[in-house]
């Protein structure tokens, strides 16, 4: 990168972060409540600032997509919400990240309580090497549910929600690793739903799946919207356009634009956004 | 160099590689071959009527009626030999034959060799030591002893410049022209009738206690002692090792202290085993006084230090090999770190941890030097469970050493020694095969 | 509020579900499949300051406990050095250093006792050196073949073999050395040595004659050398070598070995025992040299042998050095084999390189003399054994540090 380029980036960063303060206004406070709200929220890996003072408000019971080129910090944002970033040594956050009127990064926050309310589906399906039933019962058991009949009820409900019930109802005791990739991912979704979360974080949930399994997951996302707040990271813009209500575009750790999806894709306000969605880079 | 030559060099290099692996395998076969072939003979062998008598007397095994019938049968055959000798002795005493003065010594020698083969006659008073009470109990031993009945060992010093050499002189020559002469061909023809060899599978060798310092019986006390030592060692080593591995893999932040810990672990792995023995003596027994003197407890503690690095390394490796995705999934569901480790990571790492445990069990069973001063005795009784806290024990590795180097009749109990080594090696090899199979299953799981 | 259509869980479990503080609070909460506006119990992600402090205390104590258990290894190493030193130092106070390191007269129970350990240290050094001479070439070749040459199927078979060699207890090796190997060495040692010379000499001669023959053929006949000429030279060389080996066999097989329990016996067995360590550690080092480097070399037209000797082995050098050190450590520290089969004569063989004479080592002396010295705790006789142990310990400690440093260096270099 030449010197002038570097300068440009810095300048644009400053401008953008100023602009993005106004992003909150896109939500109508009467009808839409921000479920996760970030205020000047930054994440650092050691000395590098991976997220630069992001300000956005992700509405409750809607699907918010986070897009951007790889390495732009979209996963970092997502993992900040359930504090999975804590696992990375040298990673810390500044600013505020509000979830349901409480600060996720407050010193009184208990990550266990937090994560029980925020489910997550990962990039690669990661079922435990246990039976299908034990996979889904893992969360409920954590909450102290021990009775078999209760567990079975939760199991059936979550499986139905994840459109998995018909495929697994006869093989509860089979090893979950024996399922196909798409089924595994839906199992992971069901597993997350079984703890009755309020928010579902999805970190590129379809990137390891074939088209048919992908469309199944997308259908599920559409079905679950209205019940859960869903935040999905994707590198696939079509996917973001298909499933999300709102889209946030990140570039080099900076929130460039946050808008209703239809608006962002048809009429982007920022030049960078336009360049990205028209495929100029990324 | 020409391309042609380089190619030949390359080929010969490959050839040397194959050769080295063949040599490696060969050395394993050469070491294990004799141990296995001769070790099995401690379990599977042809016994004699003396063996059945011994088993009935000492272990209360077999049908008394049957043994008595067999004894009557062989003594009916043997009677002829003893009667002939007795008659000849009488002749000698009455000086009825020429040169009768030279015979008593020869007869004594013959009688001794017969006693070694057949045991004492029924009319003789029962000897004190069990080893004198019975003739040869094994057919292979009986055939060797029979050779000493037929031939007398003498030393030949005819060549003054070299060491004396052993020669075998036929005994029959010294009784030429007498009535005794006929017993030699008789014995040669009827040896089987005199001893009644029978094939047997003596699996109780593993569990029987020994009689008269391994002249008879099995290695039960040693097996039990080794078992105690291994279990005791694992009781200490598994929790400490697995906890240390968990700490190193999941909690430790790399820094000076942790690298010091790692250096300590690899240093511990490099300490000579005999030094562990001395340390066990100086620390656990003389300083801590975990027991008055040698005990299974002190030995187990010493062995724990020895196997600890193996377990820690294997367990840490296994924990680190667990995909990070499992951990993330568990944490994202709201599980605490400890819960995640106990319920997700450890179960997934279990095969790898088990591999380390199984291998170190083999080491604990086979190590000799650390238990010499801390746990092992040469002669003793099988211990009860609570005696392990303050009593020393017999153990396979130590008693192998002891029987081979310090036993009074090393050559006569070769089969016991080989049986013991075979048992120990088999134990270790089986444990290691279990580890290999476990590991193969893990890699299959990771691949599939 | 109660909507049967969505009600999928009984009331009490839902209460457990929603309660975040780990208490099972039975509430009259409405049941929801998700966070609907009807949710009446607010789930907080906060905990009180007391709870937070308590949590931190618990996790701190758990971590502290784990750390303490882990540091047992460190404590053990510290105590081992401490306790061996405590019992070793009195010896040097009583007897000084000179005799121990310079005299070869070892009569600890004589009057006056003599504690010259030079012969014993020499014995340890001798069998270790010899064992290394046997083990290192064989082990390195095996490691190279395992990592680069052999097909996967053979590798699958060879690995367990190496593991079993490592696993066989030392007392079993000692038993083999004493009961099986020593008598053979004693009765037909010369022939055995002769066969060994053939076993190693013949393949070596074959290779050398192939290579030298090839080069000679090119040198003598120039570029248009025919196959017949090549073969002729090859046969000629092979003939010379086999005649040489044949005449070598006669004097070697005439060697009489007066005692089967000698330095050669234990060195061979120790060599076998040290094999697995060297093979596995150096194989790891060779594997750590990435594929890129190998492919780079192949791309320049190097043969496999050239790639291995000129690229892979130099790159893995420090790992291989560490492997050799660890293997040697195994040989120095080994007790049972040398105790059982070295003959235990505290003497420097005459001439000093005569490997067919009995020797005695440090480890065997500790093991053998402690039984008697234990009754005279506190005497020089007791402490001298700890002095020997300290000597061994220091050697192993420093070798370990060196090998660790070597491994670290290779790791840094290859970033694995």
Q: Is residue C69 part of a domain?
A: no
B412: closest CA of chain C, how far (Å): 13
Which single residue is written with the structure tokens 């680069």? Answer: C148
| Average pLDDT of the residues in B115-129 | 89
Q: Are C324 and C339 in contact (CB under 8 A)?
A: no
Rounded to 10 degrees, the C-alpha dihedral A16/A19/A21/A25 comes to -140
Rounded to 10 degrees, the C-alpha dihedral B178/B180/B185/B189 comes to 150
A169: closest CA of chain C, how far (Å): 17
B296: closest CA of chain C, how far (Å): 18
Give pLDDT, residue C42: 60
Q: CA B389, CA C221: separation in Å to the nearest integer?
A: 82
Asked whether residue C144 falls in the same domain as residue C100, the answer is no
Give pLDDT, residue C120: 93
C142: closest CA of chain B, how far (Å): 5
Comparing A184-198, B157-171, B417-431, C255-269, the range with the smallest average pLDDT is: B157-171
User: 245-264 in B: which are within 8 Å (CB) of C?
Assistant: 246-248, 251-252, 260-261, 263-264
Check residue C343 and report its DSSP letter. B
Give pLDDT, residue A26: 53
Closest alpha carbon within chain B to A137: B333
| Average pLDDT of the residues in B126-134 | 89
What's the pLDDT tens digit per position in A85-102? Answer: 888 888 889 888 988 888
Closest alpha carbon within chain C to A195: C17
Asked whether residue C218 falls in the same domain as residue C340, the answer is yes
Q: Which residues in chain A are closer than 8 Å to C44, comparing Cβ atoms?
A: 102, 113
User: At A252, is the pLDDT very low, low, confident or very high (cuts 50, 70, 90)?
Assistant: confident
Asked whether residue C259 falls in the same domain as residue C287, the answer is yes
By residue count, chain C amounts to 416
Closest CA to B81 of B248, B194, B206, B3: B194
Give pLDDT, residue C414: 62
Q: CA C233, CA C212: separation in Å to the nearest integer?
A: 9
Asked whether residue C94 falls in the same domain as residue C224, the answer is no
Structural domain span for residue C337: 117-369
Helix (H) or strand (E) holding A58: strand A48-59
Among candidates C76, C170, C210 on the partner chain, residue whose Cβ is nearest the Cβ of B12: C210
Q: Is residue C4 part of a domain?
A: no
Query: Residue-wise pLDDT tens for chain C (416 aa)?
Result: 333 333 333 333 333 333 334 333 333 333 333 333 334 456 788 888 888 888 889 989 999 999 999 999 999 999 999 999 999 999 998 888 888 888 888 888 887 888 889 999 999 999 999 999 999 999 999 999 999 888 888 888 888 999 999 999 999 999 999 999 999 998 888 888 888 888 888 888 888 888 888 888 888 877 777 888 888 888 898 899 889 888 888 888 888 888 889 999 999 999 999 999 999 999 988 988 888 888 888 888 888 888 998 889 988 888 899 999 999 999 999 999 999 999 888 888 888 888 889 999 999 999 988 877 766 667 888 899 999 999 999 999 999 888 888 877 777 766 54
Q: CA B84, CA C380: separation in Å to the nearest integer?
A: 64
Q: Is residue C7 part of a domain?
A: no
Closest CA to B250 of B337, B353, B335, B344: B337
Specify the CATH number for the domain of residue C295.
1.10.3720
Instruction: Give one DSSP letter per residue of B328-361, joined into a string.
Output: HHHHHTT--HHHHIIIIIHHHHHHHHHHHHHHHH
Among candidates C9, C20, C49 on the partner chain, residue whose Cβ is nearest the Cβ of A154: C9
Query: Does B169 have pLDDT greater than 80?
Result: yes
Asked whether residue C143 falls in the same domain as residue C200, the answer is yes
Q: Are A117 and A197 in contact (CB under 8 A)?
A: yes
What's the pLDDT tens digit per position in A7-44? Answer: 444 434 444 444 444 444 455 545 567 788 888 899 99
Q: Are B201 and B212 in contact (CB under 8 A)?
A: no
A99: closest CA of chain B, how far (Å): 16
- Interchain contact A234–B (C-beta under 8 A): no
Q: Which residues in chain A are closer than 8 Å to B344, comparing Cβ atoms?
A: 128
Asked whether residue C190 falls in the same domain as residue C321, the answer is yes
Alpha carbon A171 to its chain centroid, in Å, reads 30
Q: CA B260, CA C317: separation in Å to the nearest integer?
A: 25
Which chains border C (3 or more CB–CB pairs < 8 Å)? Answer: A, B
Q: Is residue C64 part of a domain?
A: no
C291: closest CA of chain A, how far (Å): 27
Q: Is residue C19 part of a domain?
A: no
| Contact criterion met (CB < 8 Å) for A145 and C45 | no
Q: CA B384, CA B376: separation in Å to the nearest integer?
A: 15
Number of structural domains in chain C = 2
Among candidates C80, C145, C180 on the partner chain, residue whose Cβ is nearest the Cβ of B275: C80
- Interchain contact B9–C (C-beta under 8 A): yes
So what's the ipTM on this one? Answer: 0.93
Q: Are A34 and A55 in contact (CB under 8 A)?
A: no
| Count of pairs with CB atoms under 8 A, one residue in B, one in C | 293
| Contact criterion met (CB < 8 Å) for A89 and B332 | no
Asked whether residue C103 falls in the same domain as residue C122, the answer is no
Check residue B437 and report its DSSP letter. H
Q: Are C80 and C389 in contact (CB under 8 A)?
A: no
B174: closest CA of chain C, how far (Å): 31
Give pLDDT, residue A34: 78
Contacts 24+ apart (CB under 8 A), B410-415: B412/B141, B412/B215, B413/B214, B413/B215, B414/B38, B414/C179, B415/B38, B415/B41, B415/B42, B415/B45, B415/B138, B415/B140, B415/B141
Query: Does A155 have pLDDT greater than 60?
Result: yes
Asked whether residue C248 falls in the same domain as residue C305, the answer is yes
Query: Does A71 have pLDDT greater than 50?
Result: yes
Closest CA to A75 of A112, A121, A35, A30: A121
- Interchain contact C1–B (C-beta under 8 A): no
Give pLDDT, residue A205: 92
Give the number of other CB atoms < 10 A from CB of residue C322.
Answer: 27
| Contact criterion met (CB < 8 Å) for B328 and A115 | no
Asked whether residue C243 falls in the same domain as residue C279, the answer is yes
Closest CA to C323 of C201, C146, C103, C101: C146
Q: CA A29, CA A13: separation in Å to the nearest integer?
A: 27
Is residue B45 classed as helix, strand or coil in its secondary structure?
Answer: strand
Give pLDDT, residue C279: 95
Half-sphere exposure of residue A83, counting CA atoms within 13 Å on the CB side?
28
Reading the block at residue B136, the tokens are 């040869």
| Contact criterion met (CB < 8 Å) for A150 and C45 | no
Give pLDDT, residue C7: 30
| Contact criterion met (CB < 8 Å) for B344 and A128 | yes
Q: Is residue C49 part of a domain?
A: no
Is residue C120 classed as helix, strand or coil in its secondary structure?
Answer: helix
Give pLDDT, residue C212: 84
Which single residue is written with the structure tokens 């008789």? Answer: B186
Q: Is residue C291 part of a domain?
A: yes
- Interchain contact A207–B (C-beta under 8 A): no
Give the number of other CB atoms < 10 A from CB of residue C29.
Answer: 18
What's the pLDDT tens digit per position in B66-88? Answer: 999 999 999 999 999 999 999 99
| Contact criterion met (CB < 8 Å) for C172 and B363 | no
What's the pLDDT tens digit per position in B13-55? Answer: 888 888 888 999 999 999 999 999 999 999 999 999 999 999 9
Task: Kindly report the CATH class assigned to B220-447.
Answer: mainly alpha
Asked whether residue C343 falls in the same domain as residue C210, the answer is yes
Spans of all domains in chain B: 48-200, 220-447
Among candidates B327, B333, B348 on the partner chain, residue whose Cβ is nearest the Cβ of A115: B333
User: At B138, is the pLDDT very low, low, confident or very high (cuts 50, 70, 90)?
Assistant: very high
Cite the DSSP H helix spans in chain A.
Answer: 3-20, 74-81, 111-117, 132-142, 148-161, 165-168, 181-193, 211-224, 237-243, 261-266, 271-277
Comparing B328-332, B349-353, C118-122, C257-261, the range with the smallest average pLDDT is: C257-261
Instruction: Give one DSSP letter per residue of B151-210, joined into a string.
Output: EEEEEE---TTS--EEEEEEGGGGGTTSGGGGHHHHHHHHHHHHH--EEEE-GGGGTPPE
| Contact criterion met (CB < 8 Å) for A147 and C17 | no
B334: region left, alpha or beta (phi > 0 left; psi from -120 to 50 alpha) = left
Residues with Cβ < 8 Å from B259, sequence gap 6 or more? Answer: none
Q: CA B295, CA B142: separation in Å to the nearest integer?
A: 39
Give the number of other CB atoms < 10 A from CB of residue A33.
Answer: 17
Q: Which residues in chain C are closer than 8 Å to B251, comparing Cβ atoms?
A: 63, 66-67
Give pLDDT, residue B364: 95
- Interchain contact A279–B (C-beta under 8 A): no
Q: CA B446, CA A225: separation in Å to the nearest integer?
A: 36
- Interchain contact B335–A (C-beta under 8 A): yes
Q: CA C249, CA C190: separation in Å to the nearest integer?
A: 9
Asked whether residue C293 falls in the same domain as residue C343, the answer is yes
- Interchain contact C80–B (C-beta under 8 A): yes
Q: CA A90, CA A73: separation in Å to the nearest integer?
A: 16
- Interchain contact C298–B (C-beta under 8 A): no
Give pLDDT, residue C47: 84
Q: Is residue C1 part of a domain?
A: no
Query: Does A265 have pLDDT greater than 60?
Result: yes
Q: Which residues in chain B are closer than 8 Å to C176, comparing Cβ atoms?
A: 31, 34-35
Which range has highest mean pLDDT (A92-101, B159-168, B193-202, C49-58)? B193-202
Asked whether residue C352 falls in the same domain as residue C211, the answer is yes
């Amino acid at each position: 990168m030449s010197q002038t380029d570097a300068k440009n980036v810095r300048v644009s960063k400053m401008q953008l972060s100023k602009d993005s303060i106004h992003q909150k206004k896109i939500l109508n406070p009467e009808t839409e409540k921000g479920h996760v709200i970030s205020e000047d929220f930054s994440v650092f890996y050691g000395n590098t600032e991976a997220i630069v003072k992001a300000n956005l408000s992700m509405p409750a019971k809607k699907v918010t997509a986070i897009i951007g080129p790889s390495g732009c910090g979209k996963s970092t944002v997502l993992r900040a919400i359930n504090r999975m970033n804590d696992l990375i040594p040298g990673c810390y956050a500044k600013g505020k990240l509000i979830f349901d009127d409480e600060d996720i990064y407050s010193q009184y926050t208990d990550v266990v309580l937090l994560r029980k309310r925020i489910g997550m589906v990962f990039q690669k399906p990661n079922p435990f090497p246990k039976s299908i039933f034990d996979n889904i019962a893992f969360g409920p058991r954590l909450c102290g549910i021990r009775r078999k009949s209760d567990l079975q009820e939760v199991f059936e409900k979550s499986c139905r929600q994840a459109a998995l019930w018909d495929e697994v109802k006869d093989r509860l005791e089979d090893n979950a690793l024996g399922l196909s990739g798409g089924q595994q991912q839906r199992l992971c979704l069901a597993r997350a739903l079984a703890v009755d979360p309020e928010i579902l974080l999805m970190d590129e949930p379809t990137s390891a799946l074939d088209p048919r399994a992908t469309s199944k997951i997308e259908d599920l996302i559409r079905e679950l919207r209205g019940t859960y707040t869903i935040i999905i990271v994707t590198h696939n813009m079509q996917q973001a356009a298909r499933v999300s209500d709102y889209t946030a575009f990140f570039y080099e750790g900076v929130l460039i634009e946050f808008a209703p999806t239809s608006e962002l894709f048809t009429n982007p306000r920022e030049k960078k956004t336009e360049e990205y969605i028209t495929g100029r880079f990324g | 160099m020409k391309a042609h030559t380089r190619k030949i060099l390359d080929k010969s290099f490959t050839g040397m590689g194959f050769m080295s692996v063949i040599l490696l395998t060969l050395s394993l076969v050469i070491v294990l071959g004799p141990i296995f072939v001769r070790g099995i003979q401690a379990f599977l062998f042809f016994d004699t009527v003396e063996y059945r008598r011994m088993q009935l007397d000492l272990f209360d095994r077999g049908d008394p009626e049957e043994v008595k019938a067999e004894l009557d049968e062989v003594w009916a055959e043997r009677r002829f030999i003893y009667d002939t000798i007795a008659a000849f002795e009488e002749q000698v005493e009455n000086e009825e034959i020429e040169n009768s003065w030279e015979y008593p010594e020869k007869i004594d020698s013959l009688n001794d060799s017969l006693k070694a083969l057949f045991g004492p006659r029924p009319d003789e008073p029962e000897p004190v030591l069990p080893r004198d009470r019975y003739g040869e109990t094994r057919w292979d031993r009986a055939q060797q002893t029979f050779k000493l009945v037929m031939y007398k060992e003498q030393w030949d010093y005819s060549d003054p410049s070299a060491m004396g050499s052993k020669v075998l002189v036929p005994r029959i020559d010294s009784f030429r022209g007498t009535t005794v002469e006929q017993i030699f061909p008789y014995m040669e023809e009827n040896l089987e009738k005199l001893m009644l060899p029978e094939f047997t599978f003596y699996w109780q060798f593993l569990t029987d206690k020994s009689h008269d310092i391994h002249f008879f019986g099995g290695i039960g006390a040693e097996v039990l002692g080794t078992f105690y030592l291994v279990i005791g060692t694992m009781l200490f080593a598994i929790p400490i090792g697995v906890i240390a591995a968990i700490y190193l893999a999941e909690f430790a932040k790399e820094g000076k202290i942790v690298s010091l810990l790692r250096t300590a672990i690899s240093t511990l792995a490099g300490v000579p085993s005999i030094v562990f023995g001395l340390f066990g003596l100086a620390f656990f027994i003389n300083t801590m006084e975990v027991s008055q003197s040698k005990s299974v407890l002190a030995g187990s503690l010493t062995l724990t230090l020895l196997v600890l690095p193996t377990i820690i390394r294997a367990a840490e490796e296994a924990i680190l090999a667990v995909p990070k995705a499992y951990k993330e999934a568990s944490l994202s569901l709201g599980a605490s770190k400890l819960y995640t480790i106990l319920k997700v990571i450890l179960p997934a790492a279990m095969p790898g941890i088990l591999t380390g445990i199984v291998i170190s069990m083999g080491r604990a069973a086979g190590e000799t030097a650390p238990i010499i001063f801390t746990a092992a005795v040469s002669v003793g009784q099988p211990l009860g469970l609570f005696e392990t806290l303050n009593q020393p024990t017999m153990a396979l590795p130590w008693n192998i050493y002891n029987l081979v180097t310090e036993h009074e009749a090393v050559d006569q109990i070769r089969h016991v020694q080989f049986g013991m080594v075979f048992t120990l090696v088999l134990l270790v090899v089986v444990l290691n095969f279990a580890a290999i199979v476990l590991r193969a299953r893990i890699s299959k799981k990771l691949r599939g | 509020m109660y909507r049967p259509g969505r009600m999928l869980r009984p009331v009490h479990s839902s209460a457990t579900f929603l309660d975040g503080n780990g208490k099972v609070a039975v509430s009259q909460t409405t049941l929801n499949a998700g966070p609907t506006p009807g949710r009446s119990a607010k789930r907080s992600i906060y905990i009180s300051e007391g709870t937070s402090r308590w949590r931190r205390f618990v996790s701190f104590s758990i971590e502290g406990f784990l750390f303490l258990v882990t540091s047992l290894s460190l404590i053990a190493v510290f105590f081992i050095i401490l306790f061996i030193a405590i019992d070793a130092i009195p010896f040097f106070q009583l007897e000084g250093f000179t005799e121990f390191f310079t005299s070869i007269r070892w009569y600890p129970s004589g009057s006056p006792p003599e504690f010259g350990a030079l012969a014993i240290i020499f014995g340890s050094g001798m069998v270790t050196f010899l064992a290394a001479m046997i083990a290192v070439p064989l082990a390195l070749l095996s490691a190279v073949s395992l990592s680069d040459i052999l097909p996967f199927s053979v590798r699958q078979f060879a690995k367990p073999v190496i593991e079993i060699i490592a696993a066989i207890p030392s007392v079993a090796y000692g038993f083999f050395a004493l009961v099986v190997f020593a008598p053979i060495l004693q009765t037909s040692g010369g022939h055995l040595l002769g066969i060994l010379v053939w076993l190693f000499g013949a393949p070596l001669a074959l290779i050398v004659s192939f290579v030298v023959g090839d080069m000679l053929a090119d040198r003598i006949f120039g570029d248009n050398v025919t196959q017949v000429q090549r073969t002729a030279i090859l046969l000629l060389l092979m003939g010379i070598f086999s005649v040489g080996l044949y005449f070598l066999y006669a004097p070697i097989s005439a060697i009489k070995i007066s005692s089967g329990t000698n330095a050669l016996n234990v060195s061979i067995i120790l060599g076998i025992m040290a094999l697995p360590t060297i093979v596995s550690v150096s194989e790891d080092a060779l594997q750590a040299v990435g594929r890129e480097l190998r492919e780079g070399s192949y791309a320049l037209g190097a043969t496999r042998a050239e790639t291995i000797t000129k690229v892979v082995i130099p790159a893995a050098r420090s790992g291989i050095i560490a492997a050799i050190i660890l293997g040697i450590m195994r040989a120095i520290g080994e007790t049972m084999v040398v105790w059982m089969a070295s003959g235990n004569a505290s003497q420097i063989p005459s001439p000093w390189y005569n490997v067919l004479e009995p020797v005695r080592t440090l480890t065997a002396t500790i093991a053998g003399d402690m039984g008697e010295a234990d009754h005279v705790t506190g005497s020089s006789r007791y402490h001298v054994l700890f002095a020997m142990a300290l000597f061994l310990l220091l050697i192993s400690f420093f070798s370990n540090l060196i090998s660790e440093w070597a491994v670290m260096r290779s790791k840094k270099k290859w970033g694995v």
